[in-house]
Amino acid sequence: MNRDGYSAPSGQSNPHRPSAATGTMWYQCADCGSRVSINKGEHIRCKECGHRVLYKERTKR
């Protein structure tokens, strides 16, 4: 491969992907079905019923 055609990555995030700077992810409780937001480092537990099984929401493409 020719080095002249190479360009280093810019370090900017992909504009089509949401930024993970906040660290908040959305999950759905397996027991009560409520939508739960969990920040990075937070315990995996439903805020409504206390259940520990949460399903990650699918991306909307």
SS3 of 2-61: the string is CHHHCCCCCCCCCCCCCCCCCCCEEEEECCCCCEEEECCCCCCCCCCCCCCCEEECCCCC
Has residue 1 been placed in a domain?
no
Computed over every residue of the chain, the mean pLDDT equals 81
For the chain, how many structural domains are there in total?
Answer: 1
Write down the pLDDT at residue 24: 87
Mean pLDDT of 25-47: 94
Has residue 37 been placed in a domain?
yes
Distance (Å, rounded) from C-alpha 27 to C-alpha 55?
5
Question: What is the value of pTM for the model shown?
Answer: 0.57
pLDDT band of 51, cuts 50, 70, 90: very high
pLDDT single digits (tens) 10-34: 766 555 555 455 678 999 999 999 9
Diameter of the chain by CA atoms?
A: 58
The length of the chain, given as a count of residues:
61
CATH of the domain at 45: 2.20.28.30
Write down the pLDDT at residue 9: 73
Has residue 3 been placed in a domain?
no
Range of the structural domain that residue 44 is part of: 25-60
Has residue 8 been placed in a domain?
no
Has residue 12 been placed in a domain?
no
Has residue 18 been placed in a domain?
no
